[in-house]
Homo-oligomer: A and B are copies of this chain.
Amino acid sequence: MKDIAKDLGVSVITVSKVLRNHPDVGDETRKRVLARVKELDYQLNLAARSLVTGRTYLVGLVVPDLLHPFFAEIAKALSEVLRQSGYYLIVTSSDEDPELEEQEINQLLARRLDILIIASCRTTVDLFFRIQNQKIPYVLIDRWLPGLSSNFVGVDDEAVGVLATRHLIDVGCKRIAHIRGPETSPGIRRLEGYKRALLENGMKIVDDYIISERKGDVESKQRGAEAMSQLLTLKARPDGVFCFNDPLAMAAMNYATKRGLLIPDDIAVVGCGNLHYDDSLRVGLSSIDQHSRQIGVEAARITLTILNSKVPPAPETIVLQPELVIRDSSRRRPGMNARSRPRRKK
């Protein structure tokens, strides 16, 4: 900038104004500056600007897993919307590790991002108070924490559990299992929904039918298979399973099929996520759509509202209603369910 100013016989300030489209500069001068800028293909230093303005135009996104289509879709939607307002996304993955998540967030705080969007795998609120201390706003997505009043965008996870379980009941399942998710709000609430649906329909909650996540479970392929294997050893074998998410459901179905069971006749399956490949699977997977893209869009909207307002607005909470998408994995063919057709051997 100094060079350009010297070359043109104007001041650095004027050059700066041109670069910011500040009206306070003559047409003639503006043209000359822009010409020289292009000539040198000069690149502004945004780090220096940030230092002065106190804004980085960077939005941090912390997710447990970038590979999971659910989060990838949110990231994509966020990125698209924010870009239009000149904000950029810096994405980090916590790998479902609370420690790592803390480190990542510290790093983002040090970089003075304008705002953070977090799908947290933490179970305590202390870290978020620290964020608030730094006066950096944040929006939670997918998962919230009790005792924390903050912006939140996600799906009604209890409704997810109810919807899936009730559907299994509707198609005639009598012994419904649940392969549950982690100890964060979606895992907890979907379990609650599952329980509520059972109770509302006069069914008992059987502990053996609820498969918990063990620590260090990451690979859903293996976990789904193991969970299903565990269910199949039970004396009163379940005839329906609600799985926390689609990858788990897929793995569970694969295992059941390999063991010779028919889906949905022997055991019906419902997942969650409504991933794009759900209807191309060996057996089309019934799933609960949680509107991932919409979550991203809404989070972006809240983000922009916060960034554009002088004083921090009151926390906003957006809870989307999930939708059931029925496919073959839970479609009982009439007169063709487990009770009416000859039993198969093992």
Contacts and interface: CB of A to CB of B under 8 A. Distances in A.
Interface of A: 41, 43-48, 50-51, 56, 58, 65-67, 69, 72-73, 75-76, 79-80, 88-93, 106-107, 109-112, 130, 133-134, 221, 250-251, 253-254, 276-277, 279-282
A80 B281 CA distance: 31
A321 to B, nearest CB: 24
Given A89-B92, A280-B250, A110 B46 contact: yes
A79 to B, nearest CB: 6
Given A43-B110, A48-B51, A67-B72, 5 more contacts: A46-B110, A47-B50, A58-B90, A277-B277, A281-B282
A112 B280 contact: no
A99 to B, nearest CB: 13
B133 A41 contact: yes
Number of copies of this chain in the oligomer? Answer: 2
Q: Which 8 A-B pairs have the closest CB atoms?
A: A90-B90, A47-B50, A46-B110, A46-B111, A44-B110, A47-B47, A91-B91, A66-B76
Nearest to A73: B67
Contacts of A92: 79, 88-89
B76 A67 contact: yes
A341 to B, nearest CB: 22
A206 to B, nearest CB: 28
A43 B134 contact: yes
Given A90-B88, A133-B41, A281-B281, A111 B67 contact: no
Given A41-B130, A75-B66, A89-B92, A111 B47 contact: yes
Contacts of A107: 88
A79 B63 CA distance: 13
B282 A110 contact: no
A141 to B, nearest CB: 16
A146 to B, nearest CB: 24
A282 B285 CA distance: 11
B66 A79 contact: yes
Contacts of A106: 43
